[in-house]
Copies of this chain bind each other. A is one copy, B any other.
């Protein structure tokens, strides 16, 4: 076996959350997709809240280590930012992950179990912090010229990314993501 049942469950659950949010899927849906009985899923994840909590935790950890390795292995701030956006562009174009799990859950954050909501909030904070640090580095190297503080520009950029995902989804046009986000980074260049 190359993938544990728990991982299969989490993968399926994640794609279901991306498609329809917290209330958009059931244990029965996972059961069908994984090929396991409903009760067996409860063996791995006693409650739905716990399942989604683990799912979001895994997601944020992966995101954080992914962003960290971009900062370490990609040469300059401009390229780091571009690599981040390329990642999403690819995910959206090939429909492998057409929406951010945390963005989806953020929309319904009022209805989420508190621990899940807290994880979602933290992902937004982490992403904003990462963008801020990349922008700061870019300013120091005179690669970016910002109209506002790095913190503000990071918030603007993050909002653009999420908004672009939403527009691409709403209008059924995957290319819209790059069309929206591309010009936004161009505007930051010195």
Interface residues of A (CB under 8 A from B): 19-21, 23-24, 99, 102-104, 106-111, 120-121, 124-125, 147-148, 152, 155-156, 158-164, 166-167, 169-172, 176, 179-180, 183-184, 186-187
Contacts and interface: CB of A to CB of B under 8 A. Distances in A.
A121 B156 contact: no
Q: Name the prevailing secondary structure of the A interface residues.
A: helix
A171 to B, nearest CB: 6
A184 B158 CA distance: 13
Contact of A170 (B24, B121, B169, B179): B121
Given A107-B166, A110-B169, A161-B163, 16 more contacts: A23-B24, A103-B107, A103-B170, A106-B170, A121-B172, A124-B171, A152-B180, A155-B179, A156-B160, A156-B184, A158-B163, A159-B159, A159-B163, A159-B166, A162-B167, A163-B164
Given A156-B184, A159-B160, A19 B110 contact: yes
B21 A171 contact: no
